[in-house]
Structure 1
């Protein structure tokens, strides 16, 4: 079983934005707590936090947006010959992918030229990175990755957690844990998160409309309703996206990053 869990702040406790000119919007109204239940663990549950909700305290919209964007890449099955690479830790790679971003990849203004193909090492590193749930907005953030493996009649999503407790911020899941859940269960968890947040936010929008807004806070109620209705289509739009993975380039780059002795050495800058 896997579930993205959350609880929104009570409406009157939501933090306004804008300092001396308080304002709020759909994103800001999703302030709350969230965590992930999988394999009997609560990922993103904090240690040393004496609070009724000892979880990540941030905006649910951020988690929801990132899960939506991540999921098409997660659902793309990883070929058997890339399983070792997708499960690898970048800290143990044989070379630094940044060493393969050369001056030849930049145009005369110093910007990356999108028409110049990435080096295979960069392509492989980017593909590996596309399986991370972005948690970089957190202090001492954990690493949380997802990838799909299909073998015969077995179709599962690996959930890989890594975190180093710095003595101030820790999580109950510990330093490293890995689970495998059915792909159908992962996809249902994504849909459940979407339905749950859309339902909760519809109730919030309707309550604000009944109240006529919040005292002293600039809030465009008509715009809020339009944005909510638009966001109701975001998951479906993301699930219609098909990754355009260059498997040959990923394989070449993966061999370099894993230190395949048959591959040439890294280029010099």
Structure 2
């Protein structure tokens, strides 16, 4: 299974707010642990060093945050990256490109027309940013890219610079994994169904009075939000990005040509 999670028992979830004004909501009720099993590598699994220092085995946070971030980038993940652009998102060449872009950005900031600068910068890197799984809410975060070609979805990670007290924070330091596109879509559907089914049961428990009486919760709003969340996957799968790949290639070429003499 690609996406794995465990919801914390409802009675163990710490409510939001201060004593006397405790509250919970759909987002907060998804608190638990999660990880991505990419072959033999477990992404969002802390290293032995971090765990010996007190970290749990897997990331503990609201599971829906991972779900939201995956749904947000899913349309871009499933938009195939043209072969000439693969080196700008994959492996060591992508790291070299990022360094070149950073150098160009730092030197160009005071030289180019602002509107033109933003246009070139956006065309050059926005597409790859839409294929990176956000985890900036974690400290340290994990560096994970997910993208596809015509046949496969690729998951790549490079956490060599993500440290906990000077040592690697994550068990998965550097690597990649791929699966057929159809299989990846089925994994996204599985994650969606499992999370929504477990949250449906949790919503029923809350409506039935499972939470302590001093925790405020908008019950009608909770039910409405669950119904809305249930439509997230269909919306993500229906949306088809229209990236201007020619503009992207032009912007990258311009930056690479200019980086030595802007």
TM-score tier, shorter chain, comes to 0.7 to 0.9
State TM-score, norm by structure 1. Answer: 0.84
**Which of the pair is proportionally richer in helix?**
2
Structure 2 vs 1, CA of residues 134 and 167 (structure 1 numbering), >3 Å: closer, same or farther?
A: closer
SS at match of 1:119: helix
CA contact (8 A) 2:46 2:55 kept: no
8 Å contact 1:6–1:35 — kept in the other structure?
A: yes
Describe the shift of the 1:188–1:97 C-alpha distance in structure 2 as closer, same or farther (beyond 3 A).
farther
Partner of 1:166: 163
The answer to whether the 8 Å contact 1:145/1:161 transfers is yes
Q: How does 1:71-220 map to 2 (within 5 A)?
A: 71-87=74-90, 88-89=94-95, 91-93=98-100, 95-97=103-105, 104-105=113-114, 118-150=118-150, 155-163=151-159, 164-168=161-165, 170-174=169-173, 176-211=174-209, 213-220=211-218
Structure 1 Cα separation of the partners of residues 215 and 107 of structure 2: 49
Q: Which runs of no fewer than 5 residues in structure 2 stay unpaired?
A: none
SS at match of 2:18: coil
1:128 CA displacement: 1.3
Structure 1 pair 52/8, CA: closer, same or farther in 2 (3 Å)? farther
In structure 2, distance between residues paired with 1:15 and 1:104: 50
What is the aligned length?
249
* DSSP-derived class of the 2:149 partner: strand
Residues 211 and 77 (structure 1), Cα distance of their counterparts in 2 relative to 1, 3 Å cut: same
The answer as to whether partners of 1:33 and 1:58 remain within 8 angstroms in 2 is yes
Shift of 1:181: 1.3
User: Structure 1 residue runs of 4+, over 6 Å off?
Assistant: none
CA deviations on 1:216-244 (whole Å, 9 max, x unpaired) are 10011111111101110011112211112
Q: Gaps spanning 5+ residues in structure 1: where?
A: 107-115
In 1: Cα distance, 2:238 partner to 2:171 partner:
35
Are the equivalent residues in 2 in contact too, given 1:208–1:214 (CA < 8 A)? Answer: no
